[in-house]
Amino acid sequence: MDLLISFCAQTKDIWGIVGKILSIFKIVIPLLIIIFGMIDLGKAVVGSDDKEIKKALKQLAMRAVAGIAIWFVPTLVSLVFSLVEVGTNTDYDICKTCITNPDACK
């Protein structure tokens, strides 16, 4: 039973890495959406084709939805951990802290 209780404490380094990866995604994905959107729309406007412009706008909207979904992953993880949290068990707090704030994971 102790193994289950201390799971997050034993694997906090892994959760810290996952938290850092999520933090990087939160910065990189919006930048990529902006860059690829500018490139696609630029190509469509230079080509002066209405179909290409509509296609580029649709792609930009799909990328924006995907970016927003990725942006809110840490919030969803935090919500799941708060629902799972049982009593005064602080082991889940370790996982939650390491994922949502990897710099505080020590």
What is the model's pTM?
Answer: 0.65
pLDDT digit string (tens) for 34-51?
888 888 888 888 888 788
For residue 70, give Cα distances in angstroms to 30, 37, 86, 97. Answer: 9, 17, 27, 19
Output b/e per residue, 46-59; b: 16+ Cβ within 10 A: eeeeeebbeebeee
Mean pLDDT value of segment 5-21: 85
What integer pLDDT is reported at residue 1 of this predicted model?
46
